[in-house]
């Protein structure tokens, strides 16, 4: 039996778990519910039990497990201690020590979920072939993960890569969920582009197929732009301008080889990446121009791939 790596991605609704070979081949993946009752006390025991039961069901020996990597939605220090995880009900939690005692497996590491997603995309996704990248996830919010020379950039308190909370509008009056105002997330996320479009529709008389839509979505905005709707096209242009300029600033600090764009908004495809690159090139120094912009490939599995890869470092 080949040695296996276990990747775990703990989310607010479900926990994704996968068994992988050392070469990144997915052998088996599944999900369990995230039980957040009583401050999330059941989450890690549920994960441990599910891993051990699945090993038994698959006739795999625990001695064949190289280790377990765990992605969590919060800052992590020293690959093991979660500083805080509001979405799970956790305060400071020593994830690694708890999982070692529950499974008997010594090689366990934990890391922020966006960071392991970046590692997964570098290993087997849109960033394959590179060792320095910035992952940008454009979903309900804007997340990010930074890989430098093959290693996750975590920062002193595990909070590096929170690119969604870079201030891009110093005149914004509405607060972001983080408490600041004018964050990238307020404009470049799926939620942000919808909110900005609604405001722009209310403030203008421009004709658009978007006007009067009861349930406006980011997909509807991008679809309208693709079909030539001038108003929708301008809203997409605004998003790409803000994102392209912000990624230019990030490049001046971390100098990545490639930007990998993921999340639901990334389904807009090359229409999105081409425009972002144009604004990026207009706002970056000569030595940093024309970096690759790739679309993420692993989708919701990026976290389990990256968590598994984490323990091979």
Model confidence pLDDT, tens digit, residues 57-81: 999 989 999 999 999 988 888 777 8
Question: Could you tell me which residue, 89 or 208, shows the higher pLDDT?
Answer: 208
Question: Could you tell me which residue, 158 or 260, shows the higher pLDDT?
Answer: 260
Question: Sorting pLDDT into bands at 50, 70 and 90, what band is 102?
Answer: very high
Options 3.40.50.10420, 3.30.565.10, 3.20.20.150, 3.30.420.40; CATH for 129-296 is: 3.30.420.40
The answer to whether 4-120+301-311 and 129-296 have equal CATH topology is yes
Task: Transcribe 64-112 into DSSP letters.
Answer: GEEEEEEEESS-EETTTEES-BGGGTBSSEEHHHHHHHHH----EEEEE
Question: Could you tell me which residue, 194 or 213, shows the higher pLDDT?
Answer: 194
Least confident of 27-36, 83-92, 202-211: 83-92
Beta-carbon contacts of 230 under 8 Å, excluding residues fewer than 6 positions away, are: 206, 208
Model confidence pLDDT, tens digit, residues 43-57: 999 999 999 999 999
Q: Determine how many CB atoms are found less than 10 A away from the CB of residue 101.
A: 10
Integer Cα distance of 273 and 251 in angstroms: 16
Question: Could you tell me which residue, 264 or 224, shows the higher pLDDT?
Answer: 224
**Residue pair 305/125 in contact by the 8 Å Cβ criterion:** yes
What value does the mean pLDDT take over residues 21-28? 95
Number of H helices, E strands in the chain: 10, 13
**Residue pair 121/293 in contact by the 8 Å Cβ criterion:** no
**Residue pair 115/165 in contact by the 8 Å Cβ criterion:** no
| Length of the chain measured in residues | 313
Structure tokens of 257? 């080889």
pLDDT of residue 243: 96
Q: Is the pLDDT of residue 107 over 90?
A: yes
pLDDT of residue 186: 94
**Residue pair 96/83 in contact by the 8 Å Cβ criterion:** no
pLDDT of residue 1: 64
Integer distance in angstroms from the first to the last C-alpha of the chain?
22
Integer Cα distance of 208 and 200 in angstroms: 11
What value does the mean pLDDT take over residues 109-123? 93
Domain coordinates of the chain in residue numbers?
A: 4-120+301-311, 129-296
CATH dotted code for 4-120+301-311: 3.30.420.40
Integer Cα distance of 10 and 117 in angstroms: 12
What value does the mean pLDDT take over residues 216-229? 94
Structure tokens of 291? 């970096």
pLDDT of residue 81: 81
Taking alpha carbons only, the member of 62, 42, 54 closest to residue 18 is 54
Q: Is the pLDDT of residue 230 over 90?
A: yes
Q: Is the pLDDT of residue 135 over 80?
A: yes
Q: Determine how many CB atoms are found less than 10 A away from the CB of residue 5.
A: 26
- Buried b or exposed e, range 263-293, using 16+ CB within 10 angstroms: bbbbebeeebbebbbebbeebbeeeeeebbb
Least confident of 86-95, 216-225, 289-298: 86-95
DSSP annotation of 201: H
Strand order in the sheet with 142-148: 151-152, 142-148, 133-138, 258-262, 292-295
What value does the mean pLDDT take over residues 241-255? 97
Q: What is the pTM of this model?
A: 0.89
Residue reference for tokens 């392209």: 244
Residue reference for tokens 């964050």: 183
**Residue pair 223/243 in contact by the 8 Å Cβ criterion:** no
pLDDT of residue 116: 93
**Residue pair 280/248 in contact by the 8 Å Cβ criterion:** yes
Q: How far is CA 130 from CA 84, 134, 221, in A?
A: 31, 11, 32
Using DSSP bridges, classify how beta strands 258-262 and 151-152 pair: parallel, antiparallel or unpaired.
unpaired
What value does the mean pLDDT take over residues 168-191? 92
Q: Is the pLDDT of residue 244 over 90?
A: yes
């Amino acid at each position: 039996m080949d040695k296996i790596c276990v990747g775990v991605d703990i989310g607010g609704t479900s926990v994704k778990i996968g068994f992988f070979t050392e070469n990144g081949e997915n052998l088996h993946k599944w999900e369990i519910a995230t039980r957040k009752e009583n401050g999330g006390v059941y989450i890690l025991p549920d994960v441990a039990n599910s891993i051990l039961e699945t090993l038994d069901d698959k006739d795999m020996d625990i001695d064949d497990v190289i280790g377990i990597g765990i992605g969590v939605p919060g800052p992590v220090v020293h690959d093991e201690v979660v500083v805080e995880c509001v979405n799970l009900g956790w305060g400071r939690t020593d994830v690694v020590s708890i999982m070692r005692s529950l499974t008997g497996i010594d090689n366990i590491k934990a890391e922020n979920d966006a960071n392991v997603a970046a590692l997964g995309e570098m290993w087997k996704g849109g960033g394959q072939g590179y060792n320095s990248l910035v992952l940008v996830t454009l979903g309900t919010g804007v997340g990010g993960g930074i890989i430098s020379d093959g290693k996750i950039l975590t920062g002193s308190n595990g909070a590096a890569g929170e690119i969604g909370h870079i201030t891009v509008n110093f005149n914004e009056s509405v607060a972001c969920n983080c408490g600041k105002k004018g964050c990238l997330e307020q404009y470049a996320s799926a939620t942000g582009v919808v909110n900005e479009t609604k405001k722009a529709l209310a403030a203008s008389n421009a004709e658009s197929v978007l006007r009067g839509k009861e349930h406006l979505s980011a997909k509807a905005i991008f679809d309208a732009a693709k079909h030539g709707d001038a108003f929708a096209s301008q809203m997409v242009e605004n998003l790409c301008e803000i994102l392209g300029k912000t990624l230019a600033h990030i490049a001046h600090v971390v100098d990545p080889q490639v930007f990998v764009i993921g999340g639901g908004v990334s389904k807009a495809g090359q229409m999105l990446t081409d425009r972002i690159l144009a604004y990026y090139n207009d706002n970056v120094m000569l030595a940093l121009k024309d970096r690759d912009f790739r679309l993420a490939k692993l989708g919701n599995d990026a976290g389990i791939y990256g968590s598994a890869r984490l323990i091979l470092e």
